[in-house]
Amino acid sequence: MNTFITYRIVNEDLFSETVIDVEVGDLKHRGYSHKNNCMGFYGSMSIEQTDGSGWLTITGEFSRIDFEETHGFLIVKESVEVTAEDKHWNDLITYNERFTD
């Protein structure tokens, strides 16, 4: 199973008023507490804002709900199950990249 960090829009109107794009690729998950609650994320993320100020890059620790009230999205960790067919094609692509010009 592969996991990745992304964002989930929870307030479409607020999100479209304040955000053009969100980059969360540099965030790391801090794990889960003993009650299986998300302990948050750390690293750098960027938000492209609609007010014309460009990209806002923020570095630090974040709760999954830190941007819900101001920008209308949550930071989430998602899981995707990799099938045998996916693995086959990924291996084939990797092989071709290594052994062809």
Report the length, in residues, of the chain: 101
| 3-26 pLDDT tens trace | 889 999 999 999 999 999 999 988
DSSP code string of 25-87? TT-EE--B-TTS-B--EEEEEEEEETTTTEEEEEEEEE-TTTTHHHHSEEEEEEEEPPPHHHH
pLDDT bracket for residue 70 (50, 70, 90): very high
Ordered by start, the domain boundaries in the chain are 2-99
Q: Rounded mean pLDDT of 89-101? A: 70
